[in-house]
Amino acid sequence: MKARLIDFDTGSAELEDQHKTWLWHSMTLASQNTMYRIRLVGYASKRGDDSGNSDLSYARIDSTLKFLQSVDTNAMDRVETFRAVGEAGYDAPESDDSPEWRAVEVHIFIGDLPWSPPAPSLQPVPRPFGPLPGGDRFTQWEIAAPGGAFVAAGVGVASISISFEIH
């Protein structure tokens, strides 16, 4: 279950009634399961200074978590991510006061957490293979077939002979 609880009052961390309704329904369902995990991410609009908005986004997450704990006392132990983004979450003029950024994202996972892909900066490093022991004997080979035909660098006819050499 996931929701973006938007339209916190400007400069406030107090949950709105619609936030509490969604949180109560979601936590009631999650708490009936043997395991669930919570991820919380807080945001703030651009109005005000950067440090104050960071603190405000933290306070919004904190008030959300306190409400979750009022529904289920295990909520604190189930928090997997608690991140205050502040106003750094989006680009806009410093006077922007968009309600969709005065928000808290809430993700509640029932059961195991989903797999997270590696960061895009992580790329596999190709590793060159060294030569195999025995030199070319493992790279230059032939297959003999009944009737005398064989496949190698070219096609030809030969008598049937199979030989193995073990070193």
According to CATH, the topology of domain 2-110 is 60s Ribosomal Protein L30; Chain: A; (3.30.1330)
Domains of the chain, by residue range, sit at 2-110
The beta strand positions in the chain, using DSSP E, are: 2-5, 36-43, 79-86, 104-110, 143-144, 149-151, 155-157
Cα distances (Å, whole numbers) of residue 100 to 68, 85, 88, 91, 144: 21, 14, 14, 13, 72
Longest Cα separation, the chain: 91
List pLDDT tens digits, range 125-138.
Answer: 666 766 666 665 55
The model's pTM: 0.66
pLDDT, tens digit (0-9, with 9 covering 90-100), for 106-153: 999 987 766 666 666 556 666 676 666 666 555 555 555 566 555 555
Stated length of the chain: 167
CA distance 138 to 162: 17
